[in-house]
């Protein structure tokens, strides 16, 4: 199969869809790979590295799209990208369609087959292509919170871990999944006080066992959310419903009772965010303030550390990408985990949670591919 990798164009997005090592695997399997020039520059992967791995270099994204059967990216396609997709294309990337009607309509109109990293599953019921970026984002969330807490950034002027004799910051993490676990690990490591809210008792038991008392766990109820949010210096939004819009767990009205200069970090912003006042921001302008509360809602947090993120992502996506390159759409029909990743197929939405979030018709894959 002809596999194409355009350079990412989202603001301050430095990751790349395929590393030179991954390209070598595709070429060894008999596929051809075309890379847009300088696509890997931010991770130190030059055009020469890609040529050595067996790829060819394209002068523009248009050349990549026009000469490829499968497009491998990192972030959801932007307007100039989805307008180049055609019915013969397989798109393999993060999509996060639930809060993005414009992109969804663009993909539907293109007629392409779009497989979302964030809904591909594994035999254990996990999300293996989302997990590595969730690990990165969870850790970055605490770094971002520490920066936003600084007085010059609008925060309380509080050091996350405190110092001897001075109270450390209180960090509330809403959601005990991969993001929440890694955020808690960073919080505890810095010496701050961490609390995780989740609605799964088994998950809370696992976290309690993992952290051995270094992190508080609490069952998530409306009362618990309010009590913990009002007492926190930092609130991390780490709630995920696969494919669907994130639930709004902190309302605008609650902000007035939060500590002035406290910080919200909404890691769920790709799925619409779990705070009512969240809106996507960029690495160039990451924060804004509402009612004295600093909001950090960068929609591509792992893009800030592309060297780590690109390799972690490629380690996870490679087996699935190779399967798609070998068998095309047949791989989706044969592999239930890739089938779970299928969001769009030839003008139809094939992921129920996305369709419900957007208010658009849902077509089961059996119906769409008939």
- Give the per-residue SS3 of the chain: CEEEECCCCCCCCCCCCCCHHHHHHHHHCCCEEEEECCCCHHHCCCHHHHHHHCCEEECCHHHHHHHCCEEECCCCCCHHHHCCCCCCCEEEECCCCCCCHHHHHHHHHHCCEEEEHHHCCCCCCCCCCCHHHHHHHHHHHHHHHHHHCCHHHCCCCCCCCCECCECCCEEEEECCCHHHHHHHHHHHHHCCEEEEEECCHHHHHHHHHHHCCCEEEEECCHHHHHHHHHHCCEEEECCCCCCCCCCCCECHHHHCCCCCCCEEEEHHHHHCCCECCCCCEECCECEEEECCEEEECECCHHHHCHHHHHHHHHHHHHHHHHHHHHHCHHHHHHCHHHHHHEEEECCEECCHHHHHHHCCCECCHHHHCC
Q: How far apart are CA 112 and CA 110, in angstroms?
A: 5
pLDDT of residue 88: 94
| Chain-centre distance for alpha carbon 260 | 29
Cβ neighbours of 89 (radius 10 Å): 19
What is the β-pairing status of strands 113-116 and 170-174?
unpaired
β-partners of residue 289 are: 294
> CA 317, 321, 322, 327 torsion: positive or negative?
positive
> Both 275 and 167 in a single domain?
yes
Q: How far apart are CA 147 and CA 157, in angstroms?
A: 10
Mean pLDDT (the chain) is: 96
pLDDT > 70 in the chain, percent? 99
β-partners of residue 215 are: 194
What is the tens place of the pLDDT at every residue in 338-367? 999 999 999 999 999 999 999 999 999 887
What is the tens place of the pLDDT at every residue in 191-241? 999 999 999 999 999 999 999 999 999 999 999 999 999 999 999 999 988
pLDDT of residue 259: 96
| Rg of the Cα atoms in the chain | 21
What is the tens place of the pLDDT at every residue in 75-117? 999 999 999 999 999 999 999 999 999 999 999 999 999 999 9
Contact 252, 229 (CB under 8 A): no
Which of 46-50, 147-151, 234-238, 240-244 has the lowest average pLDDT? Answer: 240-244
Domain residues for 23? 2-127+306-368
pLDDT > 90 in the chain, percent? 96
> Both 47 and 166 in a single domain?
no
Which CATH number covers residue 23?
Answer: 3.40.50.720
What is the tens place of the pLDDT at every residue in 313-332? 999 999 999 999 999 999 99
> Both 282 and 145 in a single domain?
yes
- Residues taking part in catalysis: 96, 270
Order of all β-strands in the sheet with 193-198: 215-219, 193-198, 170-174, 234-237, 263-266, 293-296, 287-290
> In terms of Cα–Cα distance, which of 26, 24, 74 is closest to 49?
24
> Both 147 and 294 in a single domain?
yes
Final residue of a structural domain among 268, 284, 303:
303
In this prediction, residues 11-20 reach a mean pLDDT of: 96
Q: How far apart are CA 71 and CA 74, in angstroms?
A: 10
In this prediction, residues 146-170 reach a mean pLDDT of: 97
> Both 104 and 138 in a single domain?
no
> Both 100 and 235 in a single domain?
no
Q: How far apart are CA 270 and CA 283, in angstroms?
A: 14
Final residue of a structural domain among 277, 303, 329:
303
Residue 290 pLDDT > 80, yes or no? yes
pLDDT of residue 178: 96
> Both 120 and 175 in a single domain?
no
Q: How far apart are CA 291 and CA 95, in angstroms?
A: 32
Residue 303 pLDDT > 90, yes or no? yes
| Number of domains the chain contains | 2
pLDDT of residue 310: 98
- What does each C-alpha distance from 190 to 133, 161, 170, 269 come to in angstroms? 21, 5, 12, 25
> Both 253 and 185 in a single domain?
yes
pLDDT of residue 241: 86
> Both 298 and 337 in a single domain?
no
> Both 86 and 193 in a single domain?
no
Under the banding of pLDDT at 50, 70 and 90, the label for residue 370 is low
Final residue of a structural domain among 303, 323, 350:
303
> Both 259 and 358 in a single domain?
no
> Both 35 and 108 in a single domain?
yes
pLDDT of residue 366: 81
pTM of the model: 0.91
What are the backbone angles phi and psi of residue 207, rounded to the nearest 5°?
-65, -40
């Amino acid at each position: 199969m002809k596999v194409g990798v355009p350079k990412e164009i989202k603001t301050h997005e430095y990751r790349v869809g395929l590393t030179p090592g991954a390209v070598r695997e595709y070429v060894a399997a008999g596929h051809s790979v075309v890379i847009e020039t300088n696509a890997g520059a931010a991770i130190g992967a030059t055009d020469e590295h890609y040529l050595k791995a067996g790829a060819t270099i394209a002068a523009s994204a248009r050349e990549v799209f026009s000469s490829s059967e499968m497009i491998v990216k990192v972030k959801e396609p932007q307007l100039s990208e989805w307008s180049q997709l055609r019915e013969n294309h397989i798109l393999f990337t993060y999509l996060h369609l639930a809060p993005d009607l414009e992109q969804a309509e663009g993909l539907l109109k293109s007629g392409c087959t779009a497989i979302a990293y964030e809904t591909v599953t594994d035999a254990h019921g996990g999300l293996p292509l989302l997990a590595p970026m969730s690990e990165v984002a969870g850790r970055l969330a605490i770094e971002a919170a520490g920066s936003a807490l600084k007085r010059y950034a609008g925060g309380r002027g509080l050091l996350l871990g405190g110092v001897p004799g001075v109270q450390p910051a209180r960090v509330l993490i809403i959601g005990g999944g991969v993001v929440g676990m890694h955020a808690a690990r960073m919080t505890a490591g810095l010496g701050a006080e961490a609390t995780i809210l989740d609605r799964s008792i088994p998950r809370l038991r696992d976290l309690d066992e993992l952290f051995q008392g270094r992190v508080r766990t609490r069952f998530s109820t409306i009362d618990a959310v309010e009590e913990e949010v009002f007492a926190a210096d930092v609130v991390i939004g780490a709630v995920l419903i696969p494919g669907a819009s994130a639930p709004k767990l902190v309302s605008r009205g609650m902000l007035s009772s939060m500590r002035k200069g406290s910080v919200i970090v909404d890691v769920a912003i790709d799925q619409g965010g779990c705070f009512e006042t969240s809106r996507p921001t960029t690495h160039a302008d990451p924060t804004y303030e509402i009612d004295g509360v600093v909001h950090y809602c960068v929609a591509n947090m792992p893009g800030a550390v592309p060297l780590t993120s690109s390799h972690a992502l490629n380690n996870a996506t490679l087996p699935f990408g190779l399967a798609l390159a070998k068998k095309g759409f047949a791989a989706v029909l044969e592999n239930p985990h890739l089938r779970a990743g299928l969001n769009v197929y030839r003008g139809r939405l094939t992921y129920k949670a996305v369709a419900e979030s957007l208010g658009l018709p849902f077509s089961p894959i059996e119906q769409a591919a008939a």
